[in-house]
Amino acid sequence: MQRLSIQKFLNNKIAAYLLAGSFLLFSVLVGISIGTVSVPIFTIIEIIISKLFGSISMDQIDPMFSSIVLNIRLPRVILAGIVGASLAIAGAAFQGLLRNPLSDPYTLGVSSGASVGAVLTLFFQLSIPVIGSFTLPLLSILFSWATIFFVLAFARKIERSMRVETIILTGIIFSSFLGAFISLMIALTGDELRQIIGWLLGSVSMRGWEYIRIILPFFILGSIILILNAKELNAMSFGEERAHHLGVNVQKRKLIILTAGSILTGAAVAVSGTIGFVGLVIPHLSRLLWGPDHRHLLPLSILTGSGFLILADLISRTIISPTELPIGVITALIGAPVFALILLQRRRMERSG
């Protein structure tokens, strides 16, 4: 009974957004505040407000604080937030589309595909004229897009019904293959080695405002597309045939959703490397708390996903300070057990009928 009343409370959508929003706000403030130099939260708020509106003068604020906040911590937190949000909403969309609670950009191999694109860009020092710095995310997106279609086509070849496990297995096979490909390229590089490895382990450190500028347009574009397709995702999670009967143009919507998911994943991987399991854990948690309706699940995943990755980044840079752990380590430490848990739960459900 108590569970029921808790659920009812959480079902209240306004409460859901308030909760997720405050979680994000809390993460942002804590993320900026904590570090080798600790910045008081009140000071952070002052700095941000004065920067945004220019109404409060910065005179009485320590310039060291404002420099740490504006040039180091704030861009890092914002980048972590956007990457987390992108991966979480992409994961939620993949899960709904494939009716598969285990899929996320990482388990599907899409992240690895994006990495290949990014590594290729870095390896050959590619830069397409006109778009310049957007070459990196564009190639990542292109490769993640190609990967998801290869993975799905291959899984369909194995088994028409595309069981959950089949898709994941296919994703893992593609991941390993692409991973080997990346290792090969790293072995072939000479001086670029350090940059690639640092990037590959997944990190949002020392990226600065420039990377935010790179990912932001893709994040906005991808998220808007997915949120506009929330209803279709709801219908698709009952199966493609059912969705068709309900009036969804399945082929078109599927293409749109997979493309948006690739845009989000590709852009996130381009700026931060492969960070696993965010897209798995966050949608699962959000669904558990607030129900599977994608019209709310997607925005809520954005809020919780960004908060989650900001905190994960905070842990990764403070836990064995002054050394920094790659952020992917933290997310994997949390994500892999959750993955195992979902798998167990599914088995139990199947067995009980």
* Residues contributing to the site for another protein (CB under 8 A): 96, 99-101, 164, 228, 231, 234-235, 237-239, 241-242, 244-250, 287, 291-293, 349
Residues in the chain, how many? 353
Q: Quick one: 170 or 272, whose CB is closer to another protein?
A: 170
Q: Quick one: 192 or 293, whose CB is closer to another protein?
A: 293
Instruction: Look at the block and give the residue holding tokens 């941000």.
Output: 48
Give the list of residues 6+ apart from residue 318 with CB closer than 8 angstroms, or none.
34, 35
175 alpha-carbon distance from chain centroid: 17
Q: Quick one: 213 or 245, whose CB is closer to another protein?
A: 245
Q: Least distance from C-beta 3 to another protein, angstroms?
A: 12
Q: Least distance from C-beta 13 to another protein, angstroms?
A: 13
Q: Quick one: 101 or 273, whose CB is closer to another protein?
A: 101
Q: DSSP string covering 227-289, please?
A: HHTHHHHHHHTT-HHHHHHHT--HHHHHHHHHHHHHHHHHHHHHHH----SHHHHHHHHHHHH
Q: Quick one: 101 or 307, whose CB is closer to another protein?
A: 101
Q: Least distance from C-beta 305 to another protein, angstroms?
A: 18
78 alpha-carbon distance from chain centroid: 13
217 is written with which tokens? 């347009």
Q: Least distance from C-beta 335 to another protein, angstroms?
A: 19
Q: Quick one: 243 or 312, whose CB is closer to another protein?
A: 243
Q: Least distance from C-beta 267 to another protein, angstroms?
A: 25
Question: Contact 95/285 with Cβ under 8 angstroms?
Answer: no
Q: Quick one: 45 or 228, whose CB is closer to another protein?
A: 228
> Distance between CA atoms of 276 and 256, rounded to whole angstroms?
23
- Going by C-alpha positions, the residue among 54, 326, 33 that lies closest to residue 204 is 326
Q: Least distance from C-beta 338 to another protein, angstroms?
A: 16
Q: Which amino acid is at 204?
A: V
Q: Quick one: 191 or 241, whose CB is closer to another protein?
A: 241
- Going by C-alpha positions, the residue among 196, 225, 338, 216 that lies closest to residue 276 is 338
Give the list of residues 6+ apart from residue 154 with CB closer than 8 angstroms, or none.
170, 173, 174
Q: Least distance from C-beta 234 to another protein, angstroms?
A: 6
Q: Least distance from C-beta 64 to another protein, angstroms?
A: 48
> Distance between CA atoms of 330 and 343, rounded to whole angstroms?
21
> Distance between CA atoms of 71 and 209, rounded to whole angstroms?
8
Question: Contact 344/61 with Cβ under 8 angstroms?
Answer: no
